[in-house]
Structure 1
Amino acid sequence: MTSETFYISHGSPIMSIDETVKARQFLRGWKEKVYCKTPKAILIISAHWETDEPAITAVDRPDTIYDFRNFPAPMYQLKYPAPGAPDLANRVKELLNAAGFTSVHVDKERGLDHGAWVPLMFMYPEADIPVCQLSVQSHLGGTHHYNIGKALAPLKEEVILIIGSGSATPPSNATPSFPNGIAPWAVAFDDWLEEALISGRYEDVNHYKSKSPNWKLAHPEPEHLYPLHVAIGAAGENSKAELIHRSWDYGTMSYASYKFTSI
């Protein structure tokens, strides 16, 4: 049986209203071109929920969280009213506990942050598929998140769509003009990541700090990369990676997104 997991670069929340962001069209074509199945529920690992220990949302109707400041007013009027997935949350906790992650918090209050609802509003605009969100632990490493993914691999056979939502290279605090429009250090890291993934060098990705170029510039803080490790782990050691989208914004931010197929 063939199954997939995904890593998407969700970019800036301005994508929610900015028609010029190229990644919008990629996400809008999700159900027709990328993942044609109808999942029972969606498990999304967002860079924008950081906790000391793994945590999973278990809310019947999760709120839309506006975890950004000084953006245009219309963005604060957007809603993503998808149902929650408490049963899936309990299943995630069960799988993580069985794999040795004994401190897993089930959060019965938290809604969906922009790393979840912004891409999902384009991927599943009907907001009719139950969603729950899993946190990242930024003080821990790539292998930790890869092992979380491994523990969650059985969910694929239960028709659960697993999505890591981060950014292959997030926006830099300083975005000066570059000769070709994109920072060379960002291109170098993005190219290394693609080559490592396509070649199946997942251990190199787990240890990106010793293997990749320019990681301190590309990911001075690791939270946007760790959802990728979860997606890889959930796909399995023999999975095949495929680049399914790439575009750029702000001179440093890559929207590179990947599918991991296991057989």
Structure 2
Amino acid sequence: MALTMKDTFYISHGSPMLSIDESLPARHFLQSWKDKVFSLKPKSILVISGHWDTSFPAVNIVQRNDTIYDFYGFPDPMYKLKYPASGAPELALRVKELLMASGFKRVDEDRERGLDHGAWVPLMLMYPEADIPVCQLSVQSERDGNYHYNLGKALAPLKDEGVLIMGSGATTHNLRTLSKNMGSAGGVFPWALEFDNWVKDALLQGRYEDVNHFQEKAPYAKMAHPWPDHFYPLHVAMGAAGENAKAKLIHQSWELGSLSYSSYQFTSAT
């Protein structure tokens, strides 16, 4: 019997420091993934990362994923970390097939790209053995939430094929507002907290249409996301779960005053 996945996930990967900073609660949350959150071992993993932004949907088709260090000015040990998960070429082509069958007229293939830190940093903590094939799918930040929700809907059949669908971004993502004075255990800016709470309430109440139109509906939406690339992976995970899916907050913590690590699990109704 084929492995089926009723759940999709949205992970806030926050700062690249998540890869080495033991003081971050989100790091310990991800390290407990298989014990406390999701014990099934997927056949393969599809990651929708806010760090791959293209004009049209794109999948990476590689045999072995390189580790991309798409961050600057961080401690040297971070640039020595590796996550050598194999690629998932068959999954990539299946993603392309599903999207095009659903009306997405163009899906590009990237045969060189590996895993950006929106993918490998959380996966390194969740599945440190790197023994599950991984494929990435890009976001299109010039489109809207409803577009990405429909992108997710097109991918829903993958859950019945043993694929773990995971969006990776940040529930708030305004890098200009980060405050070292507030640290990981300090306070939170009121605007960031208000936006984060609005997202939580909307998701837990099943108001997915409001989340699709967060830029008009949510307080401080433009402050929380000056550019929406890190929020759209949430819409993909939400859409893949289905309109009657139940959302669950699985982690909540903060860093630097305005960087939310709120993460969600979506369980399909059927």
Give the TM-score band, short-chain normalised.
over 0.9
Provide, for residues 22-45 of structure 1, a one-character-per-residue CA deviation record: whole Å limited to 9, x for no partner: 101110111111111110000000
Matched, 1:226 2:229: no
Aligned to 2:89: 86
Structure 1 moving runs of 4+ over 2 Å: 174-178
CA separation of 1:93 and 1:82: change in aligned 2, threshold 3 A: same
Of 185, 194, 197 in structure 1, the residue corresponding to residue 191 of structure 2 is 185
Matched, 1:73 2:79: no
Q: How does 1:9-48 map to 2 (within 5 A)?
A: 9-48=12-51
In the TM superposition, what is the alpha-carbon distance from 1:175 to its structure 2 partner? 3.2
Relative to the length of structure 1, the TM-score reads: 0.97
Aligned to 1:107: 110
In the TM superposition, what is the alpha-carbon distance from 1:5 to its structure 2 partner? 0.3
Identical counterparts, % of pairs: 63
8 Å Cα contact 2:5-2:160 kept in structure 1: no
- Give the aligned residue type for 2:51: H
8 Å Cα contact 2:195-2:221 kept in structure 1: yes
TM-align CA RMSD:
1.2
Matched, 1:209 2:212: no
Alpha-carbon distance in 2 for matches of 1:162, 1:43? 5
SS of equivalent to 1:44: strand
Aligned to 2:159: 156
SS of equivalent to 1:116: helix
8 Å Cα contact 1:198-1:240 kept in structure 2: yes
In the TM superposition, what is the alpha-carbon distance from 1:2 to its structure 2 partner? 6.8
8 Å Cα contact 2:174-2:226 kept in structure 1: no
Q: How does 1:97-176 map to 2 (within 5 A)?
A: 97-176=100-179
- Give the aligned residue type for 2:192: A
Provide, for residues 41-83 of structure 1, a one-character-per-residue CA deviation record: whole Å limited to 9, x for no partner: 0000000000000000110001000000111111100000000
Of 194, 200, 203 in structure 2, the residue corresponding to residue 197 of structure 1 is 203
- Give the aligned residue type for 2:17: I
8 Å Cα contact 1:27-1:119 kept in structure 2: yes
Alpha-carbon distance in 2 for matches of 1:66, 1:79? 10
8 Å Cα contact 1:171-1:250 kept in structure 2: no
Aligned to 1:242: 248
Aligned to 2:257: 251
Relative to the length of structure 2, the TM-score reads: 0.95
Matched, 1:59 2:65: no
In the TM superposition, what is the alpha-carbon distance from 1:172 to its structure 2 partner? 3.1
In the TM superposition, what is the alpha-carbon distance from 1:170 to its structure 2 partner? 1.9
Alpha-carbon distance in 1 for matches of 2:254, 2:31? 17
SS of equivalent to 1:244: strand
8 Å Cα contact 2:5-2:164 kept in structure 1: no
- Give the aligned residue type for 1:187: L
CA separation of 1:90 and 1:2: change in aligned 2, threshold 3 A: closer
Alpha-carbon distance in 2 for matches of 1:218, 1:127? 33
- Give the aligned residue type for 1:109: E
Structure 1 alignment gaps of length 5 or more: none
